Structure 1
């Protein structure tokens, strides 16, 4: 694409279009041999274009429990039809992220947020195998406070394009033996690599759950919950202005137990289930706009199903087996169930619709890829 004199014989817009169609592994190799290509590949607009390109297919990334090593792990299904054996991605010992339980949020532009159930939070790009362990939260709570519950949000500020993590920490007041409100709320920003406390009241006097009960769309994070009168509501957090909000569900919304809130095709989806019995039915509802919900379908009956885990392409539904805790894929049209293999442990099984990403978590550091005949060695250097 370039002559020996250094003059580029291919217009830059054509070069960008060609490069945007290539997998990340190829781009990293090209960037290591040509400074011009490297400059294009590390450009933020190119990174977004590559992630959103239709050639960058969605793959299934599964968080599961490896019973052989007794550790949490992630595996990627390389085949879009989920017919191939999943590839082991990583076990997270070196970052002290293997403690039970391991919570996963995202992905947002290919980045995941991980919480080990203690005081370690990390960001991870599985494509680049790029980790960033976040600073510990220093909340300076009174000595009679005991940590009771942690909830999180993870997203991207649509204006600044800065990644943010929201940490909501609830405390138990040992003096009066009750949960203390309001919780402490802190926001981490990737650019500053630091936490800041924000003075804000959550519109809810009970903890928010962040396990298959949340989703991020267009700069806003959402959780589904209920108040003390068992009225359903959705709590929101806008990443741009860092404010909370609340969406109350209609009064005629079904009073069935909710199994979770998720995102599908840029819409909020709520999955309800009929009270536990031998045969289970699930209802799938979609929010058309604030205050307007439509039931998409009811599926079932199911035997030996513990819970739904999310939606896949063409409306297929991921399920967890009650007996084996294996990951299953249910085809709504054919009503056939496929066993995918990975197993959970105490509701740790999680499915993620993942696309390759060039987003780096190294701040001002750049990376070079060095290849030999058998493997790839990563070197980091300060720009």
Structure 2
């Protein structure tokens, strides 16, 4: 048999289009293959060329099956009683691709997407990495300083994302008192808010991609950075290496995962520049990160209209209004006015309305026909995540 050696450039063109599971086996073909496949430049090219897979993550709480279960639920004994939650990851092509169970005592959980294969699952029992492609879930060690992942308002204290320049994931844990846009009345009758931070102390966990497709987890480290903003934890979203928040004084603040620094986003979306007196009292502003873009959703409860703005630095003014949706008749009992956008395309928007119930109403807007379709109710934690096929494997996780 005659062995033909292909140039590296041609090999890279071919291998960068091979699915991750198949490509992982090619490391054993030759030293040349192993060297090419382990190179960070190749990993970046492979990620960019493979099409995203859209996953739906739903969380189900099984019904109690014993007298003790009912007793614990009725008396809300979450401090002593652990409930089982079933997590199901599905996609259109393969149906159920991953199912796992986690035990914890409260109803706090959050799924954070990095848009680079791995997801981060946060619950009361800790932080997990989730690989929906390879059907795997791994626990990350707790921070030695602050093991809690949610504050007293049940808002998530954890952010997660991917830094393409350094090919590493980062998990960031924020202090419990970071968010205070809520106004409080003091005993003397005065209204006050929490003070701003001159320097914000937070914790960072690096997860580096190593040459063999494995992951190396560093120890937690504390970091200080100037941050004179009243960040609202409930608004945080991740887009292209940055974490974004809104503030109580109508600003958008960004945090660079690469540089670990804060800055404000300018210009503001036009809906933030309206007269504060009266017009914003019935408005709910929600950030969303979808398909590599930052979105601002302006929901006017009085007029029952929702505007969707996209940050576009190439345009004059920096923002473009993409959709204006009539929400007439959708605000049933239990809705608090907040909108959670799950996915958006040029002609369709999928979103759910926040509710105090265990299930939330789900809607699909068709821009071509200007129609709004009620898709029923979904579980409170029901998210769409885009994950790209790749070489990473949680089976090869090196933890400090």
SS in structure 2 at match of 1:51: helix
Shift of 1:97: 7.3
CA RMSD after TM alignment:
3.8
Contact 1:47–1:359 (Cα < 8 Å) also in 2: no
Contact 1:150–1:170 (Cα < 8 Å) also in 2: no
User: Which deviates more from structure 2 when the two are superposed, residues 199-208 or residues 26-35?
Assistant: 26-35
Q: How many positions carry a matched residue from both structures?
A: 333
SS in structure 2 at match of 1:334: coil
User: Who is 2:58 aligned against?
Assistant: 64
Q: Unaligned 5+ residue runs, structure 1? A: 80-84, 366-383
User: Who is 1:288 aligned against?
Assistant: 312
User: Who is 1:316 aligned against?
Assistant: 348
What TM-score does the superposition give when structure 2 sets the normalisation length? 0.69
Contact 1:62–1:349 (Cα < 8 Å) also in 2: yes
Q: How does 1:60-139 map to 2 (within 5 A)?
A: 60-68=54-62, 71-79=85-93, 86-93=95-102, 100-116=107-123, 118=124, 120-139=126-145
Q: Distance in 2 between matches of 1:264 and 1:364?
A: 28
Q: Distance in 2 between matches of 1:236 and 1:209?
A: 14
Shift of 1:31: 4.7
Q: 1:299 to 1:340 in 2, by over 3 A?
A: closer
Q: Distance in 2 between matches of 1:331 and 1:120?
A: 39
Q: 1:331 to 1:89 in 2, by over 3 A?
A: farther
Q: How does 1:124-273 map to 2 (within 5 A)?
A: 124-139=130-145, 150-171=156-177, 182=197, 184-191=201-208, 193-205=218-230, 207-210=232-235, 213-217=236-240, 219-223=241-245, 225-227=246-248, 231-247=249-265, 249=268, 252-253=273-274, 255=280, 257-273=283-299
User: Who is 1:274 aligned against?
Assistant: 300
SS in structure 2 at match of 1:350: strand
Shift of 1:153: 2.5
User: Which deviates more from structure 2 when the two are superposed, residues 304-313 or residues 10-19?
Assistant: 304-313
Q: 1:22 to 1:140 in 2, by over 3 A?
A: closer
Contact 1:124–1:131 (Cα < 8 Å) also in 2: yes
Q: Could you report, residue by residue, the CA deviation over 1:128-179 in whole angstroms, capped at 9, with x for unpaired residues?
A: 33444222112279xxxx866543332233443222111102149xxx9997
Q: 1:11 to 1:78 in 2, by over 3 A?
A: farther
Q: Unaligned 5+ residue runs, structure 2? A: 64-83, 179-185, 188-192, 209-216
Contact 1:119–1:137 (Cα < 8 Å) also in 2: no
Q: Could you report, residue by residue, the CA deviation over 1:173-214 in whole angstroms, capped at 9, with x for unpaired residues?
A: xxx99978756411111145211111234322454225xx41
Q: Distance in 2 between matches of 1:337 and 1:11?
A: 54
